[in-house]
Structure 1
Amino acid sequence: MMYQPLECSQADYPQVEYQRRQKFWGPISLSLFTLAIIAIIGIAIGIVTHFVVEDDKSFYYLASFKATNIKYRECYGMRTSKQFIERSHQIERMMSRIFQHSGEGRFIKSHVIKLSPDQNGMNILMVLVFRFPSTDSAEQVRKKIERILYQSLKREPMPLTIHKPSFTLTSIDNKKMRNLLNSRCGIRMTPSYMPLPSFASTERIVQGSEAALEGEWPWQASLQLVGAGHQCGASLISNTWLLTAAHCFRRNKDPNRWIVTFGITITPPTVQRSLRKIIIHENYHKETNENDIALAQLATRVEFSNVVQRVCLPDSSIKLPPKTGVFVTGFGSIVDDGPTQNKLRQARVETISTEVCNRKDVYDGMITSGMLCAGFMEGKVDACKGDSGGPLVYDNHEIWYLVGIGDLPDPGIEPTSPALTGRFFTTEPPGKPVYGLAAMNYY
């Protein structure tokens, strides 16, 4: 439909003449306008100065003190022991409560580094991280922290009795802090050396688009066969050893034919190493995929950083209940039989009970006591080809533990059960995700 303009006569709408204002920019008006501009610029400069000069920065301290109401136990000497972990969490929660209740709102994180014996109790060494204005000195911040701590000890009862004269607080730089935290596994740090908090991402690997952030999964490695590219994922468990799946080395067991890279992209890698040795689990059975575990030794050690870090190995008695949230990461395909991805991807999945996984419509009894099922029965989130050997991890108070190894046999392997589709992960419902649980007594 077209519209015609309405024609109106000049008589209907007589022309109105407006008086032109004279001398709009008189001396007084011009002066006021100039002052207003100067005031606005001054306010803007003040705001910028506030955020630039007064911007917060990180302060790191090494705290050492004695707890007199706890006796040291030999198992505290093993950082991966259940007893060390539980005691460390108790101490860290206490520190969090002390500083968060102070009203300062400057406390960020604490990490227990070491528990050692003392004739009157137990010595505790830990790192404390705070954020204060950049104009504050380390000494000023130290005095504030000590004041808050001493006031809290007077005001409310604590689970630990801290011997005040033993308390020392030493300012350290981020490099020293990083070196101390390197003695703790499973810690994720941002490029600015701030703790990276855990979050429940629901992004997928298969049919997903969300890639991992730098430093988010610093133990993830890519195993690459020279001339053939990425084959499998792997997990860094020390500065010289990787944990991966045994079936990744079916094509070639010669360590000289393999390289490993670290970082969120395969190309370019953040760090690259050659392999010196490959160790296949002596009880690996390719027909049943039992003990699908291998160790790979790096030819030269890696230096830990915010982008390369080892994951924690849990106590061998660990049992995750069904529907526990865990994360899987890898460079594998995002569509069925698609190409390897250059950028690391992540997916949050949930553990599934062995009873459910062994149903006839799922794996029909193939899941043994050495395996752990994880994923979703409806198949909405998945891992795929190229994710084999990669980590399945879970978060325990922002310390990450490796609980499984990606067990994804090559698609060309004939299934041993009608329930299988040629590989252990499938995007078609029902999803059939399975991760081989690492036998921790093997290390």
Structure 2
Amino acid sequence: PMYDVLVLDQPQYMSNKIPSRNDCGKPYFSHRAKRIVGGTTAPRGAWPWQVSFRYMSGLYGCGGALISDRWVLTAAHCFKGEYNSIHKWRVTVGMHDTKANEPSKLDIPIRAIIKHPLYIAYNEEEEQRNNQSTPLHKRYAHDIALVELDRSVDIQSPYTRAICLPPVGDAIFGNDFDKREPGSPLMHDNTVDLFDVERKGQCWVTGWGYTADQEETDRSRLRQVRGDVISSTQCKEFWQSELEEDTLCFGDGTHGPCKGDSGGPMSCSYDGKYYITGVVSWGSEDCKQKGYPSVFTRVTSYLNWINKHVSRG
């Protein structure tokens, strides 16, 4: 058969809803790591919401994150051209090492790919250059997509869990990020202060992408990198380019995602849980241009759209 299809016996997992705040964003295995380009190999089970999108040839294409037992959040540009088809991909959950025979690893068919209706890819030939004539990577607008799995997965298992979405309408988590002052207090208990998360350095990016430009070294195991979130205002200054308001930036160009990490999550820790703050969109061509942060689609800009699809039925 084309896929190993997971059929669950426990009906309580056959839900199409986003898990509650108490049931998401908690790895079964805790971990500590030093400050995938410039990162480290992740411990197995540290990022149980990480999903792999692989071409039918077996090559790794994009990353994503489980946000419920049936839905994955990723980047729209992963599904360009002929790859905008549910039949072109293998979606794998519960995986750490792409080459290892892991009992937790499951391939799940795709039921639907839903790209944001305003998604657009800018002209590939268009370049924006800084003083060092470093070319800007291809840019996207509204680069976010939802993938519905054909089967529900057990998101209470040690190696397969859902990451938390930020609360709907919670401006403190990111919508007013650029306007906040350092040390501003929380508005109420169940909001998440992204400014504090950034300053504490509790945001991570994960994936099986290149460890440097065109390098395949140790790509079989999931990698992680820790870094700082950078506001869109600051990021515009680094890139000397206009950026969409629905973007966040991460890292310094030498620590961050690379080719193959597209669609993967920025996981930010707050109060014992991880929240998906961004989705990997684009960066410098060679992934190692110091001073050029990676650009992410900001999840808080799309919460209503996400909930409309995920909560249906």
TM-score with structure 2 setting the length: 0.71
2:269 alignment counterpart: 395
Question: Match of 2:96, as an amino acid?
Answer: I
Aligned-residue offset at 1:371: 0.4
Encode CA deviations 1:23-68: one digit per residue, 9 max, x unaligned: xxxxxxxxxxxxxxxxxxxxxxxxxxxxxxxxxxxxxxxxxxxxxx
Question: Match of 1:442, as an amino acid?
Answer: W
Aligned-residue offset at 1:289: 1.2
Query: Does the 8 Å CA contact 2:86/2:113 hold for their aligned counterparts?
Result: yes
Identity across aligned pairs (percent)? 31
Question: Match of 1:206, as an amino acid?
Answer: V
Separation in 2 of the partners of 1:431 and 1:315? 30
| Correspondence 1:39-438 to 2 at 5 A | 79-80=20-21, 184-190=23-29, 196=30, 199=32, 201-203=33-35, 205-208=36-39, 210-227=40-57, 229-251=59-81, 252-262=83-93, 263-267=95-99, 268=101, 270-287=105-122, 288-304=139-155, 305-316=157-168, 317=171, 318-319=173-174, 320-321=194-195, 323-325=199-201, 326-339=203-216, 341-359=219-237, 362-376=238-252, 379-408=253-282, 421-422=284-285, 426-438=287-299
Question: Match of 2:153, as an amino acid?
Answer: V
Question: Match of 2:107, as an amino acid?
Answer: Q
Separation in 1 of the partners of 2:87 and 2:290? 40
Q: Relative to structure 2, which stretch is displaced further, 239-248 or 259-268?
A: 259-268
| RMSD over equivalenced CA pairs, Å | 2.1
Question: Match of 2:268, as an amino acid?
Answer: Y
Separation in 2 of the partners of 1:369 and 1:220? 26
Answer 1 or 2: which has greater helix percent. Answer: 1
Query: Does the 8 Å CA contact 1:256/1:276 hold for their aligned counterparts?
Result: no
Secondary structure in structure 2 of the residue aligned to 1:358:
helix
Query: Does the 8 Å CA contact 2:250/2:256 hold for their aligned counterparts?
Result: no
Separation in 1 of the partners of 2:200 and 2:282? 21
Query: Does the 8 Å CA contact 1:243/1:293 hold for their aligned counterparts?
Result: yes
1:440 to 276, 296, 303: 303
Question: Match of 1:366, as an amino acid?
Answer: E
Aligned-residue offset at 1:235: 0.3
Question: Match of 1:309, as an amino acid?
Answer: R
Q: Relative to structure 2, which stretch is displaced further, 236-245 or 333-342?
A: 333-342
TM-score with structure 1 setting the length: 0.51
Encode CA deviations 1:142-190: one digit per residue, 9 max, x unaligned: xxxxxxxxxxxxxxxxxxxxxxxxxxxxxxxxxxxxxxxxxx1111113
Name which one, 1 or 2, has greater alpha-carbon Rg. Answer: 1
Query: Does the 8 Å CA contact 2:62/2:78 hold for their aligned counterparts?
Result: yes
Encode CA deviations 1:307-335: one digit per residue, 9 max, x unaligned: 00000000242122254521000000111
Aligned-residue offset at 1:228: 5.0
Residue 202 and residue 381 in structure 1: after superposition, are their counterparts in 2 closer, same or farther (change >3 A)?
A: farther
Question: Match of 1:428, as an amino acid?
Answer: Q
Query: Does the 8 Å CA contact 1:219/1:235 hold for their aligned counterparts?
Result: yes
Residue 363 and residue 431 in structure 1: after superposition, are their counterparts in 2 closer, same or farther (change >3 A)?
A: closer
Query: Does the 8 Å CA contact 2:53/2:91 hold for their aligned counterparts?
Result: yes
Separation in 2 of the partners of 1:285 and 1:380? 27
Residue 207 and residue 399 in structure 1: after superposition, are their counterparts in 2 closer, same or farther (change >3 A)?
A: closer
Secondary structure in structure 2 of the residue aligned to 1:260:
strand
Aligned-residue offset at 1:207: 4.2
Separation in 2 of the partners of 1:236 and 1:391? 9
Unaligned 5+ segments in structure 2 are: 1-18, 123-138, 175-193, 307-313
Aligned-residue offset at 1:353: 2.5
Query: Does the 8 Å CA contact 1:222/1:266 hold for their aligned counterparts?
Result: no
Question: Match of 1:223, as an amino acid?
Answer: F
Query: Does the 8 Å CA contact 1:220/1:235 hold for their aligned counterparts?
Result: yes
Residue 399 and residue 236 in structure 1: after superposition, are their counterparts in 2 closer, same or farther (change >3 A)?
A: same
Aligned-residue offset at 1:400: 0.7
Separation in 1 of the partners of 2:210 and 2:287? 12
Residue 229 and residue 264 in structure 1: after superposition, are their counterparts in 2 closer, same or farther (change >3 A)?
A: same
Separation in 1 of the partners of 2:233 and 2:200? 16
Query: Does the 8 Å CA contact 2:38/2:225 hold for their aligned counterparts?
Result: no
Query: Does the 8 Å CA contact 2:37/2:287 hold for their aligned counterparts?
Result: no
Query: Does the 8 Å CA contact 1:211/1:345 hold for their aligned counterparts?
Result: yes
Aligned-residue offset at 1:292: 0.3
Separation in 1 of the partners of 2:264 and 2:200? 19
Aligned-residue offset at 1:374: 1.2
Encode CA deviations 1:314-369: one digit per residue, 9 max, x unaligned: 0242122254521000000111122381110000010112222111xx22233221
Separation in 1 of the partners of 2:69 and 2:20? 16
Question: Match of 2:85, as an amino acid?
Answer: D
